């Protein structure tokens, strides 16, 4: 069976950062990335947002040095929660926790 040949010479790589033009859009983008089963999706999204905001500016606003921010956002990095928390706050967004599974039932017997 012949393989479909496509001319991709005029295509460009998709970069979400081109569309992240408001805090609301950034917030929705990060929230969507958290729905993935792969934690690296969130870090990739955070790296895209960092490009939009400027690595130097975001590092300064988060109280981090630029090199630490680059290390935290590189592929397969495992940044500390404290670092993520600083970045989230510097971006002006927050995290929300919501139930995703069955309700927790109190199994304790009443006194």
14-19: average pLDDT: 78
Residue 39 phi, psi (nearest 5): -60, -25
The reply to whether 111 falls in a domain is no
The reply to whether 22 falls in a domain is yes
Q: Is the pLDDT of residue 1 over 70?
A: no
The reply to whether 104 falls in a domain is no
| CA distance to 9, 14, 51, per residue, from 46 (Å) | 29, 16, 9
Query: pTM for the complete prediction?
Result: 0.75
The reply to whether 60 falls in a domain is yes
The reply to whether 110 falls in a domain is no
Q: Which domain holds residue 52?
A: 16-91
The reply to whether 67 falls in a domain is yes
| pLDDT at residue 95, as a whole number | 87
Alpha-helical (H) ranges within the chain are: 23-34, 39-53, 55-62, 66-73, 81-91
The reply to whether 27 falls in a domain is yes
How many independent structural domains does the chain possess?
Answer: 1
pLDDT digits (tens, 9 = 90+) for 17-74: 788 899 999 999 999 999 888 989 999 999 999 999 999 999 999 999 999 999 999 9
* Strand, helix or coil for residue 100: coil
5 or 68, greater pLDDT: 68
| pLDDT interval class at 107 (50, 70, 90) | low
């Amino acid at each position: 069976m012949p393989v479909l040949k496509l001319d991709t010479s005029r295509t460009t790589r998709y970069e979400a950062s081109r569309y992240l033009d408001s805090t609301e859009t950034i917030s929705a983008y990060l929230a969507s990335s958290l729905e993935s089963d792969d934690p690296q999706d969130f870090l990739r999204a955070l790296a895209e947002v960092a490009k939009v905001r400027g690595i130097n500016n975001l590092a300064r606003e988060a109280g981090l040095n630029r090199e630490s921010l680059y290390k935290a956002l590189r592929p397969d990095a495992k940044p500390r929660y404290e670092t993520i928390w600083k970045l989230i706050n510097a971006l002006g967004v927050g995290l929300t926790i919501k139930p995703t599974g069955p309700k927790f039932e109190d199994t304790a017997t009443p006194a």
